[in-house]
Structure 1
Amino acid sequence: AVVVAVPAPAAAALLSAEAPAAAAELRAVEYASMALITLAYRRSDADAALPDGSGFLVPPVDGRTIKASTFASRKWGWIADQDPDVTVLRTSVGRYSETEVLGRADADLVDVSRHDLREAVGLTAAPVETRVTRWTDGLPQYPVGHHARVARIRAHVGELPGLAVCGALYDGVGIPACVASAYAAVDQLGGDLTAVRELTAAPVRSLHGGAGE
């Protein structure tokens, strides 16, 4: 049994000979790149400025560079436990078809994140540590018709005994979506199509996980 759990371009290459129809569908999946900017603040500097909750999303109409921010120390207790005197935030940049911002230097991305956080929530303090992590072609896109494409891919792959697919490109990039996709693939290999049918009937709603993730 084989589970193909790789991005669409790699999956298309692997399946091109045995499942050409599935490979053709996979080649049509587009991706966006992004960068995560992690900023660590003294808790005494950051917590008073941050609103309630674990982060926020930024719609394109707002005209900001960041598209989301996650208050990581609030969202995940294990981060807060690392150092009770530090608050960790993350911002993300890079929407579909945006390339200019991702070409900027790390220091520029930190600066624009600080600017947008200041404008959004009033956080003016300087971080004590920063890190920029870039994910090239890391976000599969889900345009109108994506759900039908996924159903066709699974149908084509399902014609080959002992083969299944799973991953972020099918049902969403959030951890729950990826886990559901993996369970469905394993069940399919065992002859149980219940999970696949459930995903087909009611796809995971939160395709992009939490704010900034």
Structure 2
Amino acid sequence: DPAGRSGRWRVELGDGHTLTADAVVVAAPAPVAARLLRPEAPAAAGELDAVDYASMALITMAFRRSDLPAEPPGSGFLVPPVDGRGIKAATFSANKWSWTAAQDPGLFVLRTSVGRHGEDEWLRRDDAELAALSRRDLAEAVGLTAVPVDTVVTRWEGGLPQYPVGHLERVARVHRDLAERPGLTVCGAAYAGVGVPACIADGRRAADLTLRTARPAGEGE
């Protein structure tokens, strides 16, 4: 909350300590950001409450290249919902990112993703089932029938913000509300894109805005 008339911000930490800052950038998922912003920016918080999320699981598998009659080409593929398959995408990491192949040239690493918005039943399956359905779908899609030498399943509960029609307008309303509170802004995957480049760009936007609008310590005191 604002610390008196100085234009600075007071942040109360979970351990009871308090920080005073020229500016605050809330880089958190939309539900958390909404809770933090509600006392000072209820309109922005209300907009963020409406951002929905999907859960997903990543199934990473490593294959011996010597076990592959032919390595899958390209960087991967997407699976449309109408196909009715368990996986929604596959990324051939060894092809897409050379550093993964360089770590062990004898291995071909890939990953699949499972879980769409409103389809959480897939994620109630155990790790072995998710790995098995991934291998089945890979076999049908690209003919990959080899047995992986290692498999790791990573689950992200509520990890993917959804961008329905009207999302950009919602984000614009959030930014307009926060613009009335200099030194307070937000950034993250909930606003302009979930990929790493999009998150970096949004972080830079928030940093530039903060440098332009935050009131330095001592000014106005």
TM range (shorter): 0.7 to 0.9
TM-score if structure 1 supplies the norm length?
0.88
* Corresponding residue to 1:160 among 168, 175, 181: 181
Partner of 2:61: 39
From 24, 36, 42, the counterpart of 1:20: 42
Q: Deviations over 1:57-85 (max 9, x none)?
A: 00011111100000011111111111000
Secondary structure in structure 1 of the residue aligned to 2:120: coil
Q: How does 1:31-110 map to 2 (within 5 A)?
A: 31-46=53-68, 48-50=70-72, 52-110=73-131
| Deviation >3 Å, runs of 4+ | none
Find the residue that maps to 2:185 and give its secondary structure: strand
In 2: Cα distance, 1:72 partner to 1:35 partner: 16
- The unaligned stretches of length 5 or more in structure 2 are 1-22, 214-221
| Structure 2 residue matching 1:143: 3-state secondary structure | coil
Query: How far apart are the structure 1 equivalents of 2:62 and 2:153?
Result: 12
Amino acid at match of 2:186: V
In 2 relative to 1, CA 23–47 (structure 1 residues): closer, same or farther, beyond 3 Å? Answer: farther
How far residue 49 of structure 1 moved from its aligned partner, in angstroms, is 4.3
- For residues 208 and 66 of structure 2, what CA distance do their matches in structure 1 show? 49
- What TM-score, normalized to structure 2? 0.84
Counterpart AA for 1:10: V
The number of residue pairs the alignment matches comes to 191
Which deviates more from structure 2 when the two are superposed, residues 114-123 or residues 182-191? Answer: 182-191
Q: What is the CA deviation profile of residues 140-184 of structure 1, one whole-angstrom value per residue up to 9, with x for unaligned ones? A: 000000000000001111111111110000001101100110000
Percent of aligned pairs sharing the same letter? 65
Q: Which residue of structure 2 aligns with residue 9 of structure 1?
A: 31
Cα deviations across residues 83-122 of structure 1 (Å, max 9, x unaligned)?
Answer: 0000001000000001111000000000000000000000
CA contact (8 A) 2:65 2:71 kept: no
Paired residue for 1:125? Answer: 146
Report what 1:139 is aligned to. 160
RMSD: 1.0
Q: 1:47 to 1:29 in 2, by over 3 A?
A: farther
